[in-house]
Each structure stands twice: as C-alpha cells, then as structure tokens.
Amino acid sequence: MSTATPLFSEIQKLATEQRNPRSAGIDTASVREILEIINTEDRLVAGAVYTQIDQIEEAVKIIEHAFRHGGRLFYAGAGTSGRLGILDASECPPTFGTKPDLVQGLIAGGLPAVFQSQEGAEDLEEGGKQALVDAGVGSVDVVCGIAASSRTPYVIGALKYAKTLGCKTLFITCAPLADVSIDVDVPICAVVGPEVVMGSTRMKSGTAQKMILNMLTTASMIRLGKVYENMMVDLQMTNAKLVERSKRTVMSVTGLDYSEATTLLGQADGHVKTALVIHLASVDQKEASLRLERAAGFVRLAVQNKSYSLS
C-alpha cells in the first residue's frame, strides 16, 4: 500500500478542496438545476467578503498611503488568481486616469499564462521573488498576494521577498486565517466554503477575490479624488464610449446640454475634472487647474477653493 505524499496530505485538508454536499448530485441534474445550485452558492460569496471589511479597510489605508508617497501596488498570483490581479490592474488607467505602472499584476508563468494555463509555474517560490525583482519593486510599494488555497509557492515566494524589502504586504485568500502560515501585514480571508465542483477555485473563490480587488482599488481611488459624487471624473477618453461617458458626466453634474458639454470639455482639453471646476466655480481653465492641484484632485475642494489636507 503506497503512502501519500506530504503535498497530497496538505491539499486534502484545504478548505478550497473539500466536497460540497449541496452539489453532490449535480452530475445528474438538469441544466436549470445546475444553474440554481451554482447561483445559490454564489449568493454566499458577498457575505464571506463582508466578514473581512475590517481587514479590507486596513488594506485600503495602506494602499492609499503608498500611493500618496510614490509607492505602487503589485498583485502576485497564479492561475485564476493571477489573471484576476492583472484584470484589476489593467482597468485602473482607463477608469481612473492612473499611470499604467501604478497598479500592476504579476502572474506565475508570465504573459503566456494570462491566455493559456502554465500551471507548473506556480510551484516555485523563486518565481515569485524573481517577478518582483524584474518589476523593480521597492520598499515604498505594496505587494498583495492572491491565492485561494493560501499555499501557492509562487505567491508565498513573492510575499517573503517583499518582506525583506520592507514592503507592506497583503494576502487575499479563501482559506481560514488559521491556515495562513505566511507573515503578512494584512491577511484577508474570505472563506466561501467548498466549491460547487470540488477544487474549482475559479468559481466562488475567484468571485470573492474579484470583489475584494474591486474594493481595494476603487476605495483607494476614491480616497485620491478620482470620483466626484459617485461618478468617474478622471477617466481617460481613449475610446468612443469613454468620450460619450465624459460628456454625460459633465451633463449630469452641470445641467448643460450635449453641445454645451462638448464645448466645455474642449475648453478643458478633454479633462472632466477641469471642465467641472470651470463651470461650477465660474473660473477659466488655468484657474481650474490650479485649484485642482491645490485640492489634490478633489473636485469638491477645488470648487470651494480649498486646499487638501490629509485626514
């Protein structure tokens, strides 16, 4: 009789690798029943994420501080987790007008792994370290590991190396805190329970990770003045949809019609924030830009002609 390997024993105990009794008969279910089982399980995800609000708040404060002091945010993950990090990072520039290097996603196996599985790449801690070296990560940066199981070697390697650099470290996982063995500043443990298909962490675990990543960057960007009321005002007009969204935002805030909003954006060189301050404060483009600079990009403060002070 053969003896199980230590890795087998470790994986067998993972929360993400348990069988879900509620989906045990899914292989004989109708299409409708399959979809209802999946949807019922998905409803548990938001609740699991909510249990980690305190930790997510702490993480956002760390990220905001880093951004204000020249730091960047790096995600490190493998497989689904790595792809989710890259997705979140890639959406920040068009949504919030950030520089492409402010939020970056690193994935085991590099760029090819985004499109085709490179599963073996996740097994080397050295790979995570090397990815940070290649990206030029420094002490002012934040490194956020993403691993549903909490044990992915590539992610562990990245977090360990980040610690030696003096970086603040975050860890998003769907394992209980008791199962997290790596030392990080903020562990975020959204325990979603067994997957509908055993071990398929692209499902509930992936959904939880995506929700948390959305919260981290969106909340951080709001704290940086990238949103006015509940509208994106630092978006980049890089395609037709974003051009029209910019006009609609100006129209919604100012009450101007389509033609007037288009003219105003032209006066502001296509910058929504500047356009809003020009109109709401009745100033010219130069004064609007100066006010936004003093207000650290916050439209409300710029309109009130107030300087920003970190609270």
Amino acid at 181: S
Q: At what angle do helices 204-223 and 31-50 cross, to 10 degrees?
A: 40
| DSSP H or E stretch at residue 277 | helix 272-281
- Is 229 in the active site? no
Other Cβ atoms closer than 10 A to 192:
25
The residue from 58, 91, 260, 287 that is catalytic is: 91
Judged by phi (left if over 0) then psi (alpha if -120 to 50, else beta), residue 13 lies in alpha
CA angle (50 as vertex; 44, 51 as ends), nearest 5: 95
The residue from 17, 36, 41, 122 that is catalytic is: 122
Listed as own residue / partner, the contacts of 202-206 with beta carbons closer than 8 Å and 24 or more positions apart are 202/79, 202/80, 203/38, 203/41, 203/42, 204/41, 204/42, 204/44, 204/45, 204/174, 205/16, 205/80, 205/148, 205/174, 206/80, 206/81, 206/84, 206/148
Q: At what angle do helices 272-281 and 240-254 cross, to 10 degrees?
A: 20
Cα separation, 60 vs 220, in Å, equals 6
Beta carbons of 255 and 236 less than 8 angstroms apart: no
Tokens 């329970």 appear where? 193
- Is 91 in the active site? yes
Q: How far apart are the first and last CA of the chain?
A: 64
Beta carbons of 88 and 75 less than 8 angstroms apart: yes
Known catalytic residues?
91, 122
